[in-house]
A and B are shown apart, each in its own frame.
Chain A
Amino acid sequence: MKRTMIVAGTLLLGAGAVMAQQEIAVQQDNLMRSIAKNQYGVILKMTKGDIPYDQKAVDEAIASIEADVGKIAKTFEVNPKQDVVNATYGSSPKIWQNKADFDSKIPPVQKAIADVKGKITDAASLKAAYTAINDRCNDCHETYRVKLK
């Protein structure tokens, strides 16, 4: 009986640890998705004319991206050692081998956002802002974002 309980307890703890790790991966994925929703779902679509230009939506999207980018270093502190189930993209383990380098990619994104904030007034300036910000996102994605399927 005692042995069964120990085994069951260990299994539960193990399962808990696995779930916790998946939880971390999901949190990281959600943060990046939240940025992508604004960057691609709002800003990119507007630059392409898929949705009409909307100053309020632009300002909100930029503010939201700025807030989210500020959370990246902290949210990616722990290596979940697994990908989100069925995700198309995942994190490269290289993030946690070179965490300082990974973190050093964030301030340039913040600078790109600060440079354009409050200066976007039309589709043309939005397009320039999109490219300026996205280029800095790519500097990191080139090394640390992995396509999974």
Chain B
Amino acid sequence: MLRRTIPAVLIAAAAAFCCYWWLTAPSALALPARTRAPDLANGQELFNTGGCSSCHAVPNQPDRLLLGGGLPLGSPFGTFYAPNISPDPTDGIGRWSESDFVNAVNRGISPEGTHYFPAFPYTSYHIADVDDVRDIFAYLKTLPSVQGKAPDHDVPFPFSIRRNVGIWKLLFMDRKPFAPDASRSPQWNRGAYLVNGFGHCAECHSPRNVLGGIVTSQRFAGGPNPDGEGWVPNITQKGIGSWSEKDIADFLETGDMPEGDSASGAMRPVIKNTALLKPEDRAAMAAYLKSLPPVDGPTPPKRKPGGG
């Protein structure tokens, strides 16, 4: 009996492993030909929309363009450290090809062919136009080189196995490029592209399930701060219905809210980026956000002790 069971179990295990290996294989994107010349100004605009500096700039120093990494990002799955994306050839992305960069941003795959953890919001960036991503790459190349590598991520088993991220991507990551809505204005579509793509607003402004996937039905309806402290507000019309389109655009420029307050916490670094955008891009984002139907989000804890 046992003599027959053992091989059967071994075969089943091998088959399961093959299946796992196949399902979790990183699938790189074949780079299509460029449709236009590189545009550094566009690269800078999208670099600012993407908030790249907020995570990748060297912490505790004033220059937002020193992208040496090192900022710790807390999460329920461990602490991630933003890597060096300066043009340094050894510690940064100086030796990367354009294809390496596009696959990192649009697919969450490293030049070595491993999965990045979704702390890097490629789950939003994947809708980005490949030529836009190339513009960001060209822009990054113009920034100063910074030496030094960020610490390794502090992520416990089993989350530490990068191959598992392949399963996570199958469950929670869409791979479709941005699909414009022909019934809406070009401004709305631009806003939808920026908010859902580079802006990656939904990454913090949505609740997540136990595996860390965004709860699609409550996208933009707010939730606990993924970094651990406090609450990220509902930005559907349920939460900011009293804000006009202009209020939203002004907020993205100054951080000032119509109810007489100013953005704080994790939103403050976001405002530092959106303040640098072209007014028409902020207006487009506002037009899209104002169009989000009201959705009830999870309820914030009534009274959360501050701890000590």
Contact = CB atoms under 8 A, between A and B. Distances in A.
Interface string B267-284: 111000000000000000
Contacts of A92: 229-230, 306
Interface residues of B, number: 25
Interface residues of A, number: 29
Interface string A109-149: 00000000000000000000000001001100110011111
Nearest to B307: A93
Interface string B296-308: 0000101111111
**Would you call the interface of chain A mostly helix, strand, loop, or mixed?**
mixed
A108 to B, nearest CB: 13
B265 to A, nearest CB: 5
Contacts, number: 78
A85 interface: yes
B247 to A, nearest CB: 11
Interface string A85-123: 110011111001000000000000000000000000000
Nearest to B222: A149
A145 B303 contact: no
Contacts of A75: none
Given A83-B303, A142-B268, A36 B260 contact: yes
Contacts of A148: 230-231, 300, 304
Contacts of B304: 83, 90, 148
A9 interface: no
B262 interface: yes
Q: Which 5 A-B pairs have the closest CB atoms?
A: A141-B264, A146-B230, A40-B260, A142-B268, A149-B300
Interface of A: 25, 36, 40-41, 44-45, 79-83, 85-86, 89-93, 96, 134, 137-138, 141-142, 145-149
